[in-house]
Amino acid sequence: MTTSVRPDDTADRFATARQVADAVLFEGYVLYPYRASAAKNRLRWQFGVLVPPRWGARGAEHSVQRTECLMEPRSGARLTAELRFLHAQRRTVQRAGTDGAFETVGELELPDRVLVPWDEGVEERVTLDAEVSRLTGEGVTVPFTRPAGEETEAVHDAGGQLVGRLVRRRAELHGRVRLTASELDGPYAALRLTATVENTSGWEPDGSGADRDAALPHSLVGAHLFLGLSAGSFVSMTDPPEWARGAVADCRNEHAWPVLAGDAGRADVVLSSPIILEDHPAIAPESPGALYDALEIDEILALRTAALTDQEKREARGTDPRAAEVIELADTMPPEVLERLHGAVRSLREVTGPGPAAPDDLTPDVPGLRPDTPWWDPESDRSVDPVRDRITVDGRSVGAGSRVLLRPGLRRTDAQDLFLQGRTAHVEAVLHDVDGGVHLAVTVEGDPGVDIRREQGRFLYFQPDEIAPLEDA
């Protein structure tokens, strides 16, 4: 469903960034365990929800999203904007009666799924295109409307018998997008672009106890903007050039975070997202598909989803077609794909690149050069010995077997360290890192799992200024 001022090449120009935008649009749409009955899916709370003004005035949610960024358009440049959001449609479940009538029910059992009431999201787009020169002054405003509607879908059992139907209802929705531009003070040929998205729906609580669920069908859910220049470039808002830092600091963004999007090295597309992103965000190539709960780890989600019971999977399949896709993805994921989710290192590859080729005559006899030896191996470095090494703390020698008092330092303390403040511990080893730092591996006195920690080598680590020596046992 698209409102367009002028046909353009929006699809092509925004294609590279659309995968990230899809993740923004559906983040939080349905959460693990992907069942409507789960407590975390009973309160639908996505990013970028623009509620009707009368509802926003009553609570903490807002009806307007504002984006400001800098651009350097060339002569005759055009600006294309695309607003994307989800329009909630309320789905109810009805069972077919013997008399041909339908009765609304809480669930409908089928062999492969359990259908339940649910608010589905229908993707909506509003696009507009205008010459940059038209944006100064009053700018360009495009109102849009999504009409109310109702659809039904027949539900049949495995034998083709009609057993019920799904009824989907959408409420009327109104909004507008406004683009304006103003010149920056100074010698730079740059403009400040302001883009506002507003929910203008007239719906308001009727006083009968209407809550947020009643407001959602009249809201823009997951609202975000694409902005594209036909000629010229945008200025990075997270890493601007020196001349633009002051102007970037003066930009006012409300409930939106604009970043450069698309291919790295290009600056003609901006994604204004309700989620904080970096410039040129991208989906990890290891990601097997949309999981809608990306604040969690893909590997954990895939494993836990595959471990759901058959009944839980049936309910997830009946909750939403997208949830059904997640179940199918987890159940059919090949081991090699799951293994890739365990983690990846990219920075080392980017920084070091391929190393120089080793000479053909390189042999273990060449002093200091042994291709079969790691770049640093504690066992080959006889100058350190974690078990026998000792250090001096407060004038006393500390090493393996020493008793110490733990006093975590504020510079490095996390929440778990705070629970160990004032506890006594045994030093298990003195470790030296390659940067010259010293770390003490310890086990806490009274820890019932201390033997397992020693066997597995899973210790707690503190630096010398975070312990105080005690009398050895």
So what's the pLDDT on residue 416?
79
So what's the pLDDT on residue 2?
42
404, 410, 415, 421: CA torsion to nearest 10: 30
If you average pLDDT over residues 100-105, what whole number do you get? Answer: 92
4 pLDDT higher than 80: no
For the beta carbon of residue 444, count every other beta carbon within 10 angstroms.
Answer: 17
> Which residue in 139, 128, 266, 263 sits closest to 191, CA to CA?
139
Long-range CB contacts (within 8 A, 24+) of 391-400 = 391/430, 391/438, 391/464, 393/464, 393/467, 393/468, 393/469, 394/468, 394/469, 396/469, 398/427, 398/430, 398/440, 398/464, 398/467, 398/469, 399/427, 399/430, 400/427, 400/428, 400/429, 400/430
Angle between helices 321-332 and 310-319 (to 10 degrees): 140
What percent of the chain has pLDDT above 90?
56
If you average pLDDT over residues 158-168, what whole number do you get? Answer: 92
378 pLDDT higher than 60: no
**Across 56-65, 165-174, 278-287, 327-336, least confident range:** 56-65
If pLDDT is split at 50, 70 and 90, which confidence band does 369 have? very low
If pLDDT is split at 50, 70 and 90, which confidence band does 8 have? very low
Q: What is the pLDDT of residues 409-449, one digit of tens each?
A: 766 667 778 889 899 999 999 998 878 889 999 999 999 88
Range among 109-113, 374-378, 414-418 rated most confident: 109-113
Q: How high does pLDDT run on average in the chain?
A: 86
So what's the pLDDT on residue 9?
55
**49 in Cβ contact with 220 (< 8 Å):** yes
CATH 2.30.30 range(s) for the chain read 390-469
So what's the pLDDT on residue 467?
93
So what's the pLDDT on residue 292?
84
> Which residue in 412, 406, 408, 446 sits closest to 427, CA to CA?
406
If pLDDT is split at 50, 70 and 90, which confidence band does 159 have? confident
If pLDDT is split at 50, 70 and 90, which confidence band does 171 have? very high
**111 in Cβ contact with 144 (< 8 Å):** no
So what's the pLDDT on residue 379?
56
402 pLDDT higher than 70: yes
Bridge partner residues of 183 (DSSP): 191
382 pLDDT higher than 90: no
**Across 155-169, 228-242, 445-459, least confident range:** 445-459
**Bigger pLDDT: 210 or 79?**
79
Parallel, antiparallel or unpaired: strands 108-109 and 114-115: antiparallel
71 pLDDT higher than 60: yes
d(CA 236, CA 243): 12
- What is the CATH class of 390-469? mainly beta
So what's the pLDDT on residue 449?
87
If you average pLDDT over residues 175-181, what whole number do you get? Answer: 96
So what's the pLDDT on residue 42?
85
So what's the pLDDT on residue 1?
44
Q: What is the pLDDT of residues 245-261, one digit of tens each?
A: 999 999 999 999 999 99
If pLDDT is split at 50, 70 and 90, which confidence band does 6 have? very low
Strand order in the sheet with 191-199: 140-146, 173-183, 191-199, 64-73, 232-234
Q: pTM for the full model?
A: 0.71
So what's the pLDDT on residue 272?
96
**403 in Cβ contact with 415 (< 8 Å):** no
If pLDDT is split at 50, 70 and 90, which confidence band does 362 have? very low
d(CA 65, CA 50): 7
If pLDDT is split at 50, 70 and 90, which confidence band does 188 have? confident
Q: What is the pLDDT of residues 210-252, one digit of tens each?
A: 678 888 999 999 999 999 999 999 999 999 999 999 999 999 9
d(CA 67, CA 259): 11
d(CA 193, CA 178): 10
> Which residue in 185, 191, 84 sits closest to 132, CA to CA?
191
Amino acid at 2: T
**Bigger pLDDT: 410 or 149?**
149
